[in-house]
Every structure is written in C-alpha cells, then in structure tokens.
Structure 1
Amino acid sequence: MPDLIFHHYHNSPFSEKIRTIFGYKKLPWKSVLIPAIMPKPNLTALTGGYRKTPVLQIGADIYCDTALIANVLERIAPTPGLYPPEIAGMARTLAQWADSTLFWTVIPYIFSQPAAIQSILGGATPEQMKAFAADRAGFRGNAPRMSAGEATGSLLEYLRRLDGMLADGKQYLLGAQPCIADFSVYHCLWFVQKAKEVASIIDRAPHVQAWLGRMAAIGHHSHDAMPGEQALEIARSSSPAAIDAPFVDTFGIALGEQVTIAPTDYGLDPVEGELVMAAENELAVRRTDPQAGTVVVHFPRIGFQLKKI
C-alpha cells in the first residue's frame, strides 16, 4: 500500500484527531509539516486552493476534511473500528456536533485570553501574532462568533453533559471502546488543555479529565518526517486510484463537468476541477498542477457545496 502522507502542523486540533486515529489503528504514516498560516505553496499545489488543516495524501489522491479522512482510514484498516454498527449513526452525529459546535465554542473561549494565545502560538512575537490574527480573520468565513462569556458558559454546560456520559465507570463516550465521537470530542478538549492558562475549566469535569488521559495514551503510532517537496514528487509520479462508486446525482451536474467544490462554513476557498466522483458521502475532482501533476481531490458531501462552472 502507498504511504499515508499527512500534511499537518503540531498545534492543529483537527490534526490531533487524525494523529490519534493513526495511533488507535496502529497505522504508520509520513509527517509533512506545513505552515499554520498562508501561504502554503506545497499544500495548495496538491489541493488546488483548499487550505484547511489537515490533508491526507495517498499517492495522487488528496483527501480533505477529517470526516472524510477518518472514513478513508476505516476502509484501509477496518479493525479496530471507528463506527460500530449498533451506534454508527449516533457516533457520526456526535462527531459532527463536536467538529462544529464544540469546536467553535472552544476557539473563542481560548482566544479571548491573550496569555492563552501565547501558549497556543508557542511564544510568538507580536508580528507573528498579528499575522496569525489577520490570517484567521479571513479564514473564519461563515463560522459563528461567540463572546467570551457565551463561550465560557456554553463550554461549562457541554463539559457537564460529557461528564454525565462518562459517569458510572464508563470508559468512552458511547461504549467500552473509543469510536469516531471520542476522537472528535477529544481534539477540541485537547486544544483547551494546550492553552494552560484556561485549561483548569476541565477540572470541573473529573470523568472527562480521566477520559482525556485514556485518549492521550493512545498515542500517534510510528511516523517519519517527509519534506513537502518529496510529497509533491510522489503525487507527480503516481496515478490517482480508480474510482468505483455509484454516481449519486443530487445537483443535476454530470460527471466530467467543470465544477468548484468549497466548504460552507469557513476556509471558503473553492477548488476547481473535473467532477469525477459524486458518491453517497463523497465528492471528488480531477485537476492538474505544474508541481503536483494530475491529482484527484476528495471531499465529504456534508459541509461542502458543489457548483458547475
């Protein structure tokens, strides 16, 4: 099997979600570190403009959004599973809530505190902090905005609810083993823990605190560093995998049409290409780049919009 090439940066919470899934499934991976802010020339050569972190590369196939990346890793290594059949619908729904509502509660909670920002950015200079703020201002798109007070009150309530789910000796949110919901909730609260100045809020949820320790103990499994230029060369010298998925037309757009695909919440940069896949839960376009060659860029259906050019 080709290498699992993971484009990420250390303090990215969504990247921590997938790094921990690598650990859970014992999947070795290659680590390509990318900048936290634009420009990201090597990454955008692969994605065609999509700028959210992380991105998974397998040869000339580029997978965007952690919901889709988790599905891909499940296909590659079905055991241990992220979606036990008896709770799959609930697990996916809870994961989607965490990746959206919980995440956009955690962000204003942390970033309303200047000292916490310094922890997250690793002692950045004033110029670096200014550049980060400018980058994220344009990145937010349609994401909700909450005041510090709203975020704090909401996070406390969510912690109470999660703590109740883990009461009575329960090891994980929906059962005896972790599922996709655990990894999605985990990355949000891992980010709170990274901001030491505001992390004490988790002390109010002792069951959550113990669960965070169990999730952290999973680790990231074995991984080696890979330069971004090498990842581009692998894409150039590879061919996209054959697509074998039923066509599900909900847009009135045929395969082979030129389209754009873009997120609907934040990081709204569209990716343009030839539509080569419209499956039940996945969309993909083929595009050619001078550096990356011909690649197929994949997206989940939920959270993305498809438009004909």
Structure 2
Amino acid sequence: MSTDDLILHHYDGSPFSEKVRLMLGFKGLAWRSVKVPVILPKPDVVALTGGYRKTPFVQVGADIYCDTALIARLLEARAPAPSLFPADAPLAPLLAQWADSTLFWTVIPYTMQPAGVSHMFAGMPPEALKAFAADRAPFTAGLQRQTVADASANLRAYAAALDAQLADGRAFLFGAAASVADFSVAHCLWYVQRGGPVAEILAPHTHLRAWGARMQAFGHGRPERMDSAEALAIAAGASSHAPTQVLPGLGFEAGQAVTVTATDYGRDPVAGTLVGLSGDEVVVRRTDPRAGTVHVHFPRAGFQIKQDTQENKT
C-alpha cells in the first residue's frame, strides 16, 4: 500500500463513478476501490472532503480530487497515453462539459420515470426507496428539472445527433481515438441502459449502440478493494501534498480563508485555507481529526470561491 495509490471513492450505481471507472480501464490503471454510502450519513467522506457530497472523488495520499473533469486531468498526468485529450480533438472537453451537464440532466429525469425506477430499484424495500428520495431532495434543491415529456423529446434529439456523428464509420465521437467526451457521453447512456424498458429509446440508433459497446469494452482497469478506514489512515499518514500555488491576479491571496461551492447542485460549501489557484483549479487546505491535513482540489469551472467571513479553516 502506497500514498501514491489512486483511491476511487464511489458506489456501483453512480453514473459519474462509471465515467471514472471507464477512464481507468482506458488507461489500464491499477486503483483502490472504496465504496461510499449511497445516502447520508457519510462520515468518512466528510472527513476527507470537508462536506463535498458528490460521488465520486479520487484520493492520492492526502490530496482529494473532486469532480470528474478534474479527475480526468489527474489520470492524464498519471498516464499520458492513451490520451483523454487527443491533439486532433480540441473541442472534446467542451462536448464533455455539455454531456456532464445538459445530457446528464436530460437522462436523469428520463430514466427515473416509473418504468425505469421499477427496474432499477426492483427488490428494494419501500422504506429504502423513500430514504433515497429524501436524501436527494435537498441535494438537488433549486435545480430546475425537466419533465419526463421534455426529457424524452430532448434525449431522442441528442441520441439521433450522436448517432449521426458516428455514422461515417468512426470508432469514437471525434475519430479513431477515444477522448474525454466519449467517457462523458458513455456514463449518461450507461445510466439509461440501467433503466431496463426505458432504454428502448436508444434502440433505433445502431451506430450509437455499437459505440457504447466499444466504450464498455475498455473495462474498469485493475481495482482492488479497500475500506474507508484504510483510506483515512493513508491520508493521516501522508507526509506531503501535490505541489500547488496561488497565481496572482485571480482575485484571491494565498492563506485566505475561503469556501468552495458547486454552482449547479450538491451545493454544500467546503471551507478551508486557500493554497492553490489557477485558471483551471482551486485547492484548499483543511484539517480533520481523523484524516489529518488534506488538500481538497476542485476544478475552477462549475465552482464558486468566496472569502469565508466565518474564518472557518477546519
């Protein structure tokens, strides 16, 4: 066991976790697998992240990487080939951003219609289903969700466009090589497939379904189980962090007490001391009695930084 191990904190049914699992498979990486609870309470998650509730996140020693856009960059730095960001696909990160937001929030209400819910949660006791719904309600509070009718119409249009993109025989969305965009679309359509009968919406799109099979063929790399207590011990025992710096001219200074909050959903602020800031990333230092001193990393896009007037640096 090493403080340099990639530790993915995830759960089986999480679509964004599937995105990361497939990227790990694409790069053929070994990784440690920590299963997190599907609903609150999540005390070990909070100890490591400071309250960030979205799944998944990746831990390397005492560095915690949140959001799959940033995790993709981390994996790219760890294993540059094959690349998630091929030089001939400069628009791939933009399509990935569209898929992780617009496509994702079309797929969720579409798949969570009664027929999809019945299939995905078959055998789950009614009280567990109610607990899941109660947990997610505040998590998405304030988010304007599509109706099933609107989501159905939009998903048909998106699936047709993606199928047309693949109709010339290309293997992946931008050509012969997969990119981060493929993985962002793949996890959304993987979730639709989990909905059983509602997945029929994809049936007419033969190019898209064949592409989906190619994506799943990447597999999940080389996972090895680890429990959350071991992950906490690794964080607490780490003697260093990834290098960071606060670049000038970005509105904040090193050492400031700040909060970092997602701008879409799961808007639980993470408070800490600013130790890293660039055009792409923000990093805060925080201390937990069990996890020790950790650096929590977020992408700059999709997150808001504010000075913490409460001076809460824990």
Q: TM-score range by the shorter chain?
A: over 0.9
Query: Which residue number corresponds to residue 312 of structure 2?
Result: none
Given the two structures, how large is their TM-score scaled by the length of structure 1?
0.96
Instruction: Count the aligned residue pairs.
Output: 306
* CA offset digits 1:70-123 (Å, max 9, x no partner): 0000011000000112323x000000000000000000001122x311333353
Given the two structures, how large is their TM-score scaled by the length of structure 2?
0.95
Query: Which residue number corresponds to residue 204 of structure 1?
Result: 204
Within 5 A, what are the aligned runs for 1:18-97?
18-88=20-90, 90-97=91-98
Residue 248 of structure 1: CA displacement?
4.7
* 1:141/1:265 contact within 8 Å kept: no
* 1:118/1:124 contact within 8 Å kept: no
* CA offset digits 1:133-164 (Å, max 9, x no partner): 11111111443311110000000000000000
Letter of the 1:255 counterpart: A
Runs (5+) with no aligned partner, structure 2: 309-314
SS state of the match for residue 15, structure 1?
A: helix
Letter of the 2:124 counterpart: A
Query: Which residue number corresponds to residue 145 of structure 2?
Result: 145
Residue 244 of structure 1: CA displacement?
4.3
* CA offset digits 1:194-235 (Å, max 9, x no partner): 111211111021110000000011100111100000000000
SS state of the match for residue 145, structure 2?
A: coil
SS state of the match for residue 163, structure 2?
A: helix
Residue 38 of structure 1: CA displacement?
1.2
CA distance in 1, matches of 2:213, 2:180: 17
CA distance in 2, matches of 1:119, 1:229: 33
SS state of the match for residue 198, structure 1?
A: helix
Query: Which residue number corresponds to residue 276 of structure 2?
Result: 277
Query: Which residue number corresponds to residue 227 of structure 1?
Result: 227
Query: Which residue number corresponds to residue 13 of structure 2?
Result: 11
Letter of the 2:47 counterpart: A
Letter of the 1:286 counterpart: R
SS state of the match for residue 260, structure 1?
A: strand
SS state of the match for residue 174, structure 2?
A: coil
Letter of the 1:161 counterpart: A
Query: Which residue number corresponds to residue 158 of structure 2?
Result: 158
Quote the RMSD (CA, aligned, Å): 1.2
